Amino acid sequence: MRHPSHHSQTTACMTGLATHVRASGLPVIEPLETRVLLSAGLLDLTAAGAYGMVNDAIFRQVQPGSTGTGVVDAFVRMQGAPYERGYNTSGTTEFETKADAHTHPIQLSAVPSIEVGNTLYREMWLDLNEPTNTALVTLEDFQVFVGTAGSYSGYPFAGQIGAGQMSLIYDMDAGPKGDTYILLDGSKGSGQGDMTVYIPDALFGVDDAQYVYVYSSFGVLPGADHGETSEGGYEEWFVGKDADSLSITVSIYGYKFNDANGDGEDNDGPDNRLSGWTFFLDDNDNGQLDDGEMTAVTDANGQYAFPNLLIGLTGQDAFRVREDLQPGWKQTAPDVDPDIVVIEDGGLLVQGGSVFVAYSGQVVLEPEEVEIERPDLAFGNARLMTVSGYKFQDHDGNGEWDGDDAGLEGWTIYLFLDDGDGIFNETTPDAQTTTNENGYYEFENLLEEDYWVREELRTGWMQITGSPDLIGSTAENVNFGNFDLFDISGRKFEDMNGDGSGAGDLGLAGWTIELYEDSDDD
């Protein structure tokens, strides 16, 4: 089992398959093409990479690779012509089941788990061994039972089911299409996997100690009007030993850091990691998180993980790693979001067990795994801030926006980046903006640094509010109040004829004129 240097919380949410166990690198899987389930109930898996779903289980053709006793556990083998049937048990074998070491009980704990979207599946493999190079064979029946013991016999187990000792949990023929059969190329030879089936884990229940029975039939059964006969070779079902998945997978590990100065470089090391951020595999390459796409959330160490991604499903030629950008942040690294390409021009570019990491040593590898460094899996983000406020006419000069005070349009507000000394030094502003019809101004999407805000000063106006202090985070109502200065003037004269007009009268020099503020507004 692979262990990250720092574990990441991962939530799978889409079409990629992610196992909970290590990939073995066997067998080789070629790119897949989709096969639809036809109205007659046929699923054709003879083409390389074909797959389809039958009653929520995934049946998938794989190009055969050597399996062998070292990595697999064959649990039921059957052999016959023109048909063959069988199931695994330690009790009395029936039909064409081979009563040898390849037929025995298995418990649910021995069946590997694999995840498809939000659904956990159990993985089983089929090895076809028909004798001729052109042999085709049909899988006519596939049923899965669970039981309290491994020695039950007497298919279809009516007595055990009636006694509550067994349950039928999956039947390939039980869906709306009724009788369903799968066409397979049976000429691959012994010791090679030919088909994988993934069965929804929820069907099995929660008891890993219960026994799993697989009943299947191949060939043209008595009374059948379709199918391809078995030709006397044997077929067997198996699982990976130690509950190890045998599916070819790659894994992706990265991390998220706080790029405080916005330079796109991870300058501060592990101390600047960001937890609680969502990453996703952008299946449709639209740059946004859509329902059903696989996600991972960064852990306390800022690491995210997409472990053991199954290669080859439709649309899985590349895994496009993207972040779900949070409001108030700007992505500063990488310059181009990473695409992990695994299939190109129909060919597999990586081997099973390839582990893509942001830096060497990010995860502890299994012996068969290969580390591939991708520095672009490190995502940097800078927190953004906004500074906003109003410019208003302070009619009464009290420094408060009240009464008949109104916003002033068309005034310039300046923004200065502090040089690090915490002292305002008038230099060329780093940004400027103009107040709108309400006197409002705003500087948005600023990197979270220290700034000074100053206003345009005009002749005839006095700034009544003090200059704002150094601002280091989002700030609102950074307001500027100004008083419109005015002049009071007149003439002191000697009213020679007492008519009060001053017309023709001489001015009086040297007289003191006093000005009083009406402080109580009466």
Closest by CA position to 34, among listed 19, 21, 15? 15
Phi, psi of 355 (to 5 degrees): -120, 115
Closest by CA position to 439, among listed 389, 391, 387, 388? 391
**SS3 state at 151:** coil
The pLDDT of 421-426, averaged and rounded, is 90
pLDDT tens digits along 211-227: 999 999 999 888 777 78
pLDDT tens digits along 41-60: 789 998 877 888 899 998 98
Closest by CA position to 313, among listed 349, 345, 283? 283
pLDDT at 292 over 90: no
- Peptide linkage before 27 cis (omega within 30 of 0): yes
**What is the SS3 string spanning 191-252?**
CECCEEEEEEHHHHCCCCCCEEEEEEEEECCCCCCCCCCCCCCEEEEEEEHHHCCCCCEEEE
pLDDT at 493 over 70: yes
pLDDT at 134 over 80: no
Q: Which residues pair with 446 in a beta bridge?
A: 385
pLDDT in the model for residue 33: 37
The band of 20, judged by pLDDT with boundaries at 50, 70 and 90, is: very low
pLDDT tens digits along 460-488: 999 999 899 999 888 999 999 999 888 88
Which CATH superfamily does the domain covering 382-484 fall into?
Immunoglobulins (2.60.40.10)
Contact 317, 29 (CB under 8 A): no
pLDDT in the model for residue 314: 55
Residue-wise burial string across 276-305, b where 16 or more C-beta atoms lie within 10 A, e elsewhere: ebbbbbbbeeeeebeeebbbbbbbebbbbb
Phi, psi of 456 (to 5 degrees): -70, 135
Q: How many residues does the chain have?
A: 522
The phi-psi region of residue 232 (left if phi > 0; otherwise alpha if psi is between -120 and 50; otherwise beta) is: left
Contact 389, 477 (CB under 8 A): yes
Mean pLDDT estimate for the chain = 85
Q: Which residues pair with 71 in a beta bridge?
A: none
Is 249-373 a domain of CATH 2.60.40? yes
